[in-house]
């Protein structure tokens, strides 16, 4: 009986946390979220939406390389991938546009509140600052709504405005709409990255790396360089 319980737990864990390329994965999002988005957001087309004014973008959105990441602030692999993004910003400034899109997973209870916090910070012009704060909270293991409100105060945001925005879930429809877009692209885990439409499913490192099959695989740097030739 004990062996059966351990085996059952391992299978469930293995389905949720896939660490080969660092991807937190789930195929069972909360149904009420899907229904809420379906009622209030347009049905997405079955193709990747180019970066537009609705996105949070680092760099020039018309840059020759567009990197779009579907992410979850509570996902440990997404936090890990921020280090790769910092290297992209340093190496390819002016050549790459980075767009962040929400894909909070149902297995992460604080992911939706964190996504809402980022949008409420964006309302006051501080999306990327809050983005960095939230992933720092993730890495520090201090990840809850009260901490998000402390982050807002640290960033000098209007606390009353931010708290009301967060407590009323003002931007939930936007987040749910991006989740629908992701699901329509067959995304099941985070982070999922698209570089000029080419999908990289997982926390790909900046440099090339050896995969679990022993073969060398192009990292983010080589993939970007391919589109700059």
Q: Indicate the number of domains in the chain.
A: 1
Q: Which of 4-8, 137-141, 178-182, 190-194 has the weakest average pLDDT?
A: 4-8
| Residue 20, pLDDT score | 56
Q: What is the pTM of this model?
A: 0.82
Query: What range does the domain containing 30 cover?
Result: 22-228
- Give yes or no for a contact between 180 and 37, defined as CB atoms under 8 angstroms apart: yes
- Give yes or no for a contact between 112 and 172, defined as CB atoms under 8 angstroms apart: yes
Residue 53 inside a domain? The answer is yes
Residue 15 inside a domain? The answer is no
- Give yes or no for a contact between 59 and 192, defined as CB atoms under 8 angstroms apart: no
My answer on whether omega of the bond before 191 falls inside 30° of 0, hence cis, is: yes
The proportion of the chain whose per-residue pLDDT surpasses 70, expressed as a percent, equals: 81
- Give yes or no for a contact between 193 and 200, defined as CB atoms under 8 angstroms apart: yes
- Would the pLDDT of 12 be above 60? no
Residue 9 inside a domain? The answer is no
| Residue 164, pLDDT score | 98
Q: What angle do CA 171, 194, 45 make, to 5 degrees?
A: 60
- Would the pLDDT of 160 be above 70? yes
DSSP string, 87-122: HHHHHSTTTEEEEEEE---TT-TTHHHHHHHHHHHH
Q: Give the CATH number of the domain where residue 66 resides.
A: 3.40.30.10
| Residue 25, pLDDT score | 65
| Residue 26, pLDDT score | 54
Q: What angle, rounded to 10 degrees, do the helices at 31-40 and 172-184 form?
A: 100
- Would the pLDDT of 33 be above 70? no
State the average pLDDT for the chain: 86
């Amino acid at each position: 009986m004990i062996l059966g319980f351990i085996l059952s737990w391992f299978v469930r864990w293995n389905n949720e946390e896939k660490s080969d390329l660092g991807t937190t994965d789930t195929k069972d999002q909360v149904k009420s979220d899907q229904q809420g988005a379906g009622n209030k957001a347009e049905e997405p087309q079955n193709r990747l939406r180019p970066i537009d004014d609705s996105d949070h973008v680092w760099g020039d959105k018309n840059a020759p390389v567009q990197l779009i990441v579907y992410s979850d602030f509570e996902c440990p692999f997404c936090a890990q991938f921020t280090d790769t993004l910092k290297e992209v910003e340093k190496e390819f400034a002016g050549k790459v546009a980075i767009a962040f899109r929400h894909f909070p997973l149902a297995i992460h209870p604080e992911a939706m509140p964190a996504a809402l916090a980022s949008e409420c910070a964006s309302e006051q012009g501080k999306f990327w600052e809050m983005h960095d704060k939230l992933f720092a909270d993730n890495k520090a293991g201090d990840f809850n709504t009260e901490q998000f409100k402390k982050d807002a105060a640290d960033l000098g945001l209007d606390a009353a405005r931010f708290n009301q925005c967060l407590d009323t879930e003002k931007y939930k429809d936007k987040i749910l709409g991006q989740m629908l877009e992701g699901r329509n692209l067959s995304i099941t885990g985070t982070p999922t990255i698209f570089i000029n439409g080419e999908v990289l499913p997982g926390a790909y490192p900046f440099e090339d790396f050896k995969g679990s099959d022993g073969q060398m695989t192009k990292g983010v740097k080589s993939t970007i360089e391919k589109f700059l030739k």
